[in-house]
C-alpha cells in the first residue's frame, strides 16, 4: 500500500483529564486541599495526535470513546486542531478518564481509568486497516490492549513510532518493529527486561540504549527530563539537550514530544533532526498550563538551546542539573 507523504496515524487512547492543582502532592494517607479542578481533553493517543497536527502533519486519530457526556470533551481539541476523527468510534459505557494532580512546581501524578480505551482490541483496529496501512508514520502507545497495539503494528507499512508508556507486555516482534521506540529511562529498563528475560538490566542510559539495540530494536529515543533526550539510530548515539525554561505544568509534554517527533519524521526529517525539534516543542509546552491546549503550532516560536547548553550535553552519559526551571521533556 502506498504511504501518503507527511501523514500520521495515531492509534491509541482518548481521555477526559480531571486536572487537580495542589500546593504539594499528598503523602500516603494524607488529605490536602486542592486549588482548582478543570476538565480537559486528554489521553496519550489524542494528545499525540493534536501535537502532530499542530506541527503540520496531516493526522488521523483511531480510537474509541464512550456514549457519555465526556466523549465530546475528549474529542473537542482534536477536531479544532485539524485531526481527522472519522476513525474514532463510540461504544457503550464511559469514556476514558485520567486524574492528573499538578503541584506548585509543575510536577504531576496521573491515574488512568481506561474506559472505552480498554476495548481497542485487534478486531476494532482491523476496521481501520487501510488508513493505518497508508500512513507515513504510525504512532502507538501503551494505553490500549496489547492485541490492538500488535495488530496496528502489523498493519503499518510506514515508519512505526512506539511510545511504550505505560509499559505493558508486548510480543518481542512488536517491540522490534519500533523505529523508533520512545521511552524514558525507567520504561527503557522495563522494556529491556521483557526483551531479555532473566538477564541483568544495565543502569546507565547509554547501556540501556545499547541493550535495546542489541535486542533488535532498530532505533531508540530515551527522554531524559530536563536533560532532553538520547537518540540512537544505527551506530550513532547523540545527546539532544533541552532548552532551559520555567516550568508551569509538565502534564502531557512527553506526548507533545512524541507527536512532534512523528510529524517531523513524516515530513522527511532524520530521527536526530526530529528529536531536536521535538525537545523544543516539549520545552514550549511546559511553560503553559494544561495538555493539548498548550501545544505549539507552526506559527509559534519555540525556545532554543544556547551554545553553552548544547556543549554541556554532548555525550550520551552527560548529566546536568534537573531543576524545575529547566524541565522540557518530562519522563
Calculate the CA dihedral of residues 111, 113, 119, 124 and round it to 10 degrees. Answer: -50
Q: Which three cell numbers stand for residue 38?
A: 478543570
| φ/ψ (deg, to 5) at 320 | -115, 170
Q: In which residue are the cell numbers 509534554 written?
A: 253
Q: Is the peptide bond before 263 cis (omega within 30 degrees of 0)?
A: no
Look at residues 263, 256, 287 and name the one whose alpha carbon lies nearest to residue 137. 263
Between the CA of residue 64 and those of 85, 127, 204, 220, what are the distances in Å? 10, 12, 38, 29
Catalytic residue among 68, 70, 233, 255: 255
Q: In which residue are the cell numbers 490492538 written?
A: 148
**Alpha carbon distance 67, 123 (integer Å):** 20
Between the CA of residue 162 and those of 7, 39, 293, what are the distances in Å? 16, 28, 23
Is residue 255 flagged as an active site residue? yes
295: Cβ contacts below 8 Å, ≥ 6 apart: 47, 50, 51, 54, 81, 252, 256, 259, 281, 284, 285
The kind and range of the H/E element at 112 are strand 108-113
CA 187-190-195 angle, to 5 degrees, is 125
Active site members:
255
Amino acid at each position: 500500500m502506498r504511504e501518503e507523504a507527511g501523514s500520521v496515524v495515531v492509534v491509541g487512547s482518548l481521555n477526559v483529564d480531571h486536572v487537580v492543582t495542589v500546593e504539594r502532592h499528598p503523602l500516603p494517607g494524607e488529605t490536602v486541599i486542592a486549588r482548582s479542578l478543570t476538565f480537559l481533553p486528554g489521553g496519550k493517543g489524542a494528545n499525540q495526535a493534536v501535537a502532530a497536527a499542530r506541527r503540520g502533519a496531516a493526522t488521523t486519530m483511531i480510537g474509541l470513546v464512550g456514549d457519555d457526556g465526556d466523549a465530546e470533551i475528549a474529542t473537542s481539541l482534536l477536531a479544532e486542531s485539524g485531526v481527522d476523527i472519522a476513525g474514532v468510534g463510540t461504544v457503550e459505557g464511559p469514556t476514558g478518564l485520567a486524574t492528573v494532580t499538578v503541584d506548585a512546581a509543575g510536577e504531576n501524578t496521573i491515574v488512568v481509568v481506561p474506559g472505552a480505551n480498554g476495548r481497542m482490541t485487534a478486531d476494532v483496529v482491523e476496521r481501520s486497516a487501510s488508513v493505518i496501512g497508508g500512513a507515513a508514520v504510525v504512532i502507538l502507545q501503551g494505553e490500549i490492549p496489547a492485541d490492538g497495539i500488535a495488530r496496528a503494528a502489523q498493519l503499518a507499512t510506514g515508519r512505526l513510532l512506539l511510545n511504550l508508556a505505560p509499559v505493558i507486555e508486548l510480543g518481542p516482534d512488536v517491540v522490534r518493529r519500533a523505529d523508533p521506540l520512545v521511552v524514558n529511562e525507567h520504561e527503557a529498563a522495563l522494556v529491556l527486561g521483557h526483551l531479555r528475560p532473566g538477564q541483568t538490566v544495565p543502569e546507565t542510559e547509554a547501556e540501556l540504549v545499547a541493550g535495546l539495540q542489541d535486542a533488535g530494536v532498530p532505533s531508540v529515543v530515551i527522554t531524559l527530563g530536563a536533560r532532553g533526550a538520547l537518540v540512537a539510530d544505527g551506530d550513532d548515539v547523540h545527546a539532544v539537550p533541552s532548552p532551559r525554561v520555567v516550568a508551569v505544568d509538565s502534564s502531557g509534554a512527553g506526548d507533545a514530544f512524541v507527536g512532534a517527533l512523528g510529524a517531523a519524521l513524516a515530513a522527511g526529517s532524520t530521527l536526530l533532526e526530529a528529536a531536536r525539534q521535538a525537545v523544543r516543542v516539549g520545552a514550549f509546552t511546559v511553560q503553559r498550563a494544561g495538555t493539548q491546549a498548550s501545544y505549539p503550532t507552526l506559527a509559534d516560536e519555540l525556545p532554543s538551546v544556547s551554545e553553552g547548553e548544547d556543549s554541556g550535553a554532548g555525550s550520551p552519559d552527560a548529566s546536568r542539573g534537573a531543576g524545575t526551571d529547566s524541565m522540557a521533556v518530562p519522563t
